[in-house]
Amino acid sequence: MSEHNLSGKKVAFLLTDGVEQVELTSPWDAVKEAGGVPTLVSPKSGELQGYDGTEKGQRFAVDLAVGRADAADFHALVIPGGVVNADHLRVDKEAQAFTRAFFEQHKPVAAICHGPWLLIDAGVVSGRNLTSYHTLQTDLKNAGAIWTDEEVVVDQGLVTSRSPRDLPAFNAKLVEEIAEGEHAGQTP
C-alpha cells in the first residue's frame, strides 16, 4: 500500500491505440492502490489496442472522450508512452488542449517514455526539467526542455521517466505529486 493517500482524487489517463500497455496498467494500479480513481480518456471511443513492445496486447475500454473531458474535473494527468500512441496524441488538438489545461491549473502531470512528445505540442516543456525515452531528447531540447538521462525527474509537479524499467520510481513519484496537489510552479 502506498504511503500517500489519493482517496477521492480523480486521475485522467490520456492515451489511444498503440499505448505501451504496462505504462498504462502499472501507474493505473498504483493510483488505485493509493485510493485514487483513474479514468481512461482518449480521442477514440469504444476500445483501444494496447501493445507489449511490438506485439498486440490487451484492449482497454475508453471511459471519456477527450473532447468532452475537462481538466477541472481531475486532480492529475498521466500520459503513458508507446510510439504509435504518442505520435497520434501529439497532433490531436483536443489532447493538446486537455494537457495544457492541467499546466494552466497547476495540477500534477506524469509522462513516461514517448509520452512527453505530447508535452512538446501542448507547448509546456520550455524551461522544464524532464526525461523521456532517449530518442526524444533532441525534440525536447529543441522545444526548450532541460533533458537528463535519469530514471525519474520531478519538476514542480511534472513527473517524467524513460521506459518501463523505470515504472517503480515513476509510480512512486506520480502518487507523491498527486497527493501533494497543485504546484505553483506547474505552469505552461
Instruction: Indicate which residues carry an active-site annotation.
Output: 113-114
62-66 contact pairs (CB < 8 A, 24+): 63/39, 64/12, 64/39, 64/40, 65/41, 66/14, 66/41, 66/42, 66/92, 66/94, 66/95, 66/98
Q: Which residues of 31-49 are buried (b: 16+ CB within 10 A; e: fewer)?
A: beebbbebbbbbbeeeebb
